[in-house]
Structure 1
Amino acid sequence: MKKVFSTLFIMVLMVSAFSLSIKDGKIFDENDWSVELKEYNSIVLIDPSTTEVAFLLGAEDKVKAIGHTSRSPIWPYDKTVNMETVGTITKPSLEKVLYYKPDLVILNGMITEFGETLRGHDINVLTMSADGIEDILDNLEISGIIFGKEREAIEMAQTKKALLKKIKKDIKKKPLNMKGAFLYSTNPIMGFNADSLPGQILEIMGVENITNGITAARPILSPEYILKENPDFLIGAMSIKKPEDILNANPMINKTNAGKNKNILLVDSSKILRPSPRIIEEIESLYKELSNINN
């Protein structure tokens, strides 16, 4: 059975294009770093999304240590908080990583220079990244090989894709017909553009993102612009701690539909920014929450 799933998996890889790719028996990342296509048994994860994948697949026994986050905790929260750590995901310790003698280290895209240092110590390194929802699910399948969970990964990817299809079908039947935005900060007021994961989430939910047409990755939204676009809701993330932070950012926000109807919400940043397969359930949850607000 395992050989059947492995053969099916390789066929999937041959017709897919995403952040991780397979060629000549190796896994390549966006930096063109490569490692052998095989199961690894002593892994250090300095990427929170891959840490979540390890637990989703039941492969946490392969993980010797992780990088912790300073803001949003890593799911499953009660387990990751007690795991061995090599520091934070932005400032890991070389000494601690070397201590665990990993056969593979998986990084986030913010610390490429640290990855080069590890490669200089002859350590296998991959950078995990995803530009879209499909990339997340494709990376899940590659992680299945890395963690020795090919069958589980393929089945999970198929389940997530089926759920995403159902969500889109539900949204088509009951569209939100709303305008809105996820906000990165309030001083200045910054949003996320259409190409970001938060932007893609809004697109899937059929929400008109008020940042559409602005080229910056995190566009600054002037109060006048927000008033002109008149969003039905605004959702704060990152450093925004309470809805009042958004309402107090500028009096004009109170004149929008979002302000008048008190449709100012908060979301844990990891739910819209972390490229974990759990993002599919978060899309469903956000859609249901937005379906119940005043419009």
Structure 2
Amino acid sequence: MKKIILLLNMFIISVCSMALSIEEGKITDFVGNSVEAREYKRIIAIDPAAVEVFYMIGGEKNIAAIARTTTTKIWPEDKTEHLPSVGTITKPSIEHVISYSPGLVILNPMVAGFGETLKARNIPFIVNGGNNFDEILNNVSVYGVLAGREKEAAKVRSEYEEELGDLREKVEDKPLGLKGAFLFSTSPLMAFNSKSLPGQVFNLLGIENIADNLPGGRPIISAEFMIASNPNVLLGAMGIFKKEDIVNSNPFVKDTEAGKTGNIAIVDSDKILRPTPRIIEVVRELYEELSLES
């Protein structure tokens, strides 16, 4: 239970984030930190989403070091696994950070407080954000400035904006007509609401989110409510690693339409919870899979 609560708290912090913005020669994050809007040659990325975007736009040469994840991978794994580390995203080492003499540090929202440690040592930093598709794509442009890759970032952003537009048209032309839940944990059974990234995925796909009828940011779904709602699709992420965990930990799931048809799946957390354009690829794959099953 303690692990679930910790994961929940960290996730709530992350999904309350907003996109980075550029104004009057400054890049500002959602908590008001700002740095000069220019290229930085030595960046420490204590945020996996930032690392992935730098690789997407060809700006990895600007990364001096990263922070490791403990349960997920950082794309592209074959390259990021060889990058120097300053600790984990939840426990970065200030000594290691200092040793790389960074021009800029990009923090994950879960460790925004680490910024005070950086500030005390006059190390510039910003906190990454992005809680919907538009904010995620906006951040691509910001990282293009930080990496001196504005043209490449504009190309990546344009490609994903086109893919997002195409997907929206497909959903409009052929709605899935589904209702379900995107589950956060199985013990207790908790779900993402529409304000989260997984909830945004449901919104884009036109899937009715049964968790929106319940109070709280990450509501607990009771057996009675699950049976009464009778979802025909259940997806799991975060603290759920096998679809069998959903069924075996909660026998009443078998009585739902999703349980009877086996329309239950797990989505990689590093793809569905990380605010990078890769999430758009995941949504497209989900739509194609669910279209075949609906």
Give me the TM-score of the superposition, normalised by structure 1: 0.91
| CA distances 1:38-79 after superposition (whole Å, capped 9, x unpaired) | 111000000100100010011111101101111110100111
1:35 alignment partner, SS class: strand
1:148 matched residue in structure 2: 148
**Count of aligned residue pairs for this structure pair:** 277
Residue 292 of structure 1 and its aligned partner are, at CA, apart by 2.2
1:22 matched residue in structure 2: 22
CA distance in 2, matches of 1:191, 1:167: 24
Residue 244 of structure 1 and its aligned partner are, at CA, apart by 1.4
Residue 20 of structure 1 and its aligned partner are, at CA, apart by 1.5
2:81 matched residue in structure 1: 81
2:257 matched residue in structure 1: 257
The question of 1:36 aligning with 2:39 is answered no
Q: Which amino acid aligns with 2:53?
A: V
Residue 271 of structure 1 and its aligned partner are, at CA, apart by 1.5
The question of 1:246 aligning with 2:249 is answered no
1:201 alignment partner, SS class: helix
Residue 184 of structure 1 and its aligned partner are, at CA, apart by 0.6
CA distance in 2, matches of 1:233, 1:55: 34
2:60 matched residue in structure 1: 60
CA distance in 1, matches of 2:78, 2:42: 22
| CA distances 1:87-139 after superposition (whole Å, capped 9, x unpaired) | 11111111101000000000011112211101111111000011211000011
Residue 261 of structure 1 and its aligned partner are, at CA, apart by 0.5
2:182 alignment partner, SS class: strand
1:8 matched residue in structure 2: none
1:9 matched residue in structure 2: none
1:11 matched residue in structure 2: none
Matches within 5 A, 1:3-18: none
1:93 matched residue in structure 2: 93
Residue 186 of structure 1 and its aligned partner are, at CA, apart by 0.3
**Identity between Structure 1 and Structure 2 (%):** 46
Q: Which amino acid aligns with 1:190?
A: M
1:106 matched residue in structure 2: 106
Higher helix share: 2
The question of 1:211 aligning with 2:211 is answered yes
Unmatched 5+ stretches in structure 1: 1-17
CA distance in 2, matches of 1:257, 1:150: 48
Structure 1 runs of 4+ with >4 Å offset: none
Judge conservation of contact 1:144–1:152 (CA < 8 Å) in 2. yes
Judge conservation of contact 1:193–1:215 (CA < 8 Å) in 2. no
CA distance in 2, matches of 1:49, 1:223: 35
Residue 264 of structure 1 and its aligned partner are, at CA, apart by 1.4
Matches within 5 A, 1:188-203: 188-203=188-203
| Larger relative contact order (Cα-Cα within 8 Å, sequence gap ≥ 6) | 2
2:47 matched residue in structure 1: 47
Judge conservation of contact 1:131–1:196 (CA < 8 Å) in 2. yes
Residue 279 of structure 1 and its aligned partner are, at CA, apart by 1.0
CA distance in 2, matches of 1:51, 1:255: 42
Residue 22 of structure 1 and its aligned partner are, at CA, apart by 2.3
CA distance in 1, matches of 2:155, 2:57: 10
Give me the TM-score of the superposition, normalised by structure 2: 0.92
2:13 matched residue in structure 1: none
Q: Which amino acid aligns with 1:123?
A: I
The question of 1:221 aligning with 2:193 is answered no
CA distance in 2, matches of 1:242, 1:28: 39
1:7 matched residue in structure 2: none
Q: Which amino acid aligns with 1:259?
A: G
CA distance in 1, matches of 2:279, 2:253: 29
Q: Which amino acid aligns with 1:155?
A: K
Matches within 5 A, 1:117-196: 117-196=117-196
Residue 23 of structure 1 and its aligned partner are, at CA, apart by 2.8
CA distance in 1, matches of 2:23, 2:48: 26
CA distance in 1, matches of 2:271, 2:43: 24
Matches within 5 A, 1:270-281: 270-281=270-281
Q: Which amino acid aligns with 1:197?
A: L
